[in-house]
Amino acid sequence: MKLLRYGPVGQEKPGLLDTDGNIRDLSDKVADISGAVLSDAGLATIRDLDVDALPLVEGSPRIGACVGQVGKFICIGLNYADHAAESGMELPEEPVIFFKATSAITGPDDTVEIPRNSVKTDWEVELGVVIGKEAKYVSEADALDHVAGYCVVNDLSERDFQLHRSGQWVKGKSADTFGPIGPWLVTRDEITDPQNLPMYLEVNGHRYQDGSTKTMHFDVATVISHLSQFMSLQPGDVISTGTPPGVGLGQTPEVYLKPGDVMELGIEGLGVQRQKVEASA
């Protein structure tokens, strides 16, 4: 299934994408795409619905982040060997963990704002993993059973804030609009192998990132298992699993986003995001 949330900011309703690409309203069936709805039982209840009987959403509403009420937005750094190389950093022995503020979360096609005093706002297409069942001290063998589904994430980064302003990376990762998620939450039964998904990102029609989850240093199961040794993962938590090469930081000379730029990014089977860039007010 492809689940989504649509409507004005702060007023999103739950929906489902039917086989014809139409949005069907789920608001009479579930309160949101969050919490217990993401469990195997919750998803099974939606799967058993007569889709054709659900109200058809007319027009082209705004699409919000595909998960609501996100508790934790966890990111994995330097998780692709070729991206680590372009960043001039060694591959880690264990997953590098950092957080983005949940206030950074926005819809997949919403405007991205360059924060005040930014000089190096950058892009990163990433595979997002949405937790559906609590994960605490889980094995790699059982880790994927705790996944509700997958989505596209743009892990936007301000490299000067991230790398040169002291402290944790979170400074450069958490500006408002720096976490577009969606357009859809694709349930795990539709993704046969999360380690074989082509992904790309373009700026103004130029393809900078052209990679695949095949080249992850730590695969999804390893990441979930590792995280669960240090914190419990709860339904609705989002894990952004790292980016392939081609970020602005890795270009010669370096290239960064500026007002008026347009990004397009996607992952096979998970949909496409498009964002226009503007300066923050």
Flag whether pLDDT at 164 surpasses 90: no
User: What pLDDT score does 115 carry?
Assistant: 97
Q: Which residues face 154 on adjacent strands?
A: 125
Task: Match 């819809």 to its residue by tokens.
Answer: 107
Give the Cα separation of 138 and 93 in Å (integer).
Answer: 20
- What residue type is 107 in one-letter code? G
Structure tokens at 265: 């990014």
Contact criterion met (CB below 8 Å) for 248 and 257:
yes
What's the whole-number average pLDDT of the chain?
Answer: 96
Flag whether pLDDT at 89 surpasses 80: no
User: What pLDDT score does 281 carry?
Assistant: 84
Is 267 buried (19+), middle (13-18) or exposed (0-12) by CB count in 10 A? buried
Cα–Cα nearest to 273, from 148, 123, 132, 170? 123
Rounded mean pLDDT, 253-259: 97
- The pLDDT confidence band at residue 249, using thresholds 50, 70 and 90, is very high
User: What pTM does this model have?
Assistant: 0.96
Give the helix/strand (H/E) hosting 86.
Answer: helix 81-86
- The pLDDT confidence band at residue 252, using thresholds 50, 70 and 90, is very high
Q: Domains in the chain, please, with CATH?
A: 2-53 (no CATH), 73-279 (3.90.850.10)
Cα–Cα nearest to 51, from 71, 74, 22? 22
User: What pLDDT score does 121 carry?
Assistant: 98
Rounded mean pLDDT, 80-98: 84
User: What pLDDT score does 87 carry?
Assistant: 73
* 102-159 pLDDT, tens digit each: 999 999 999 999 999 999 999 999 999 999 999 999 999 999 999 999 999 999 999 9
How many CB atoms are closer than 10 A to CB 232? Answer: 14
Instruction: Output DSSP code: residue 53.
Output: G
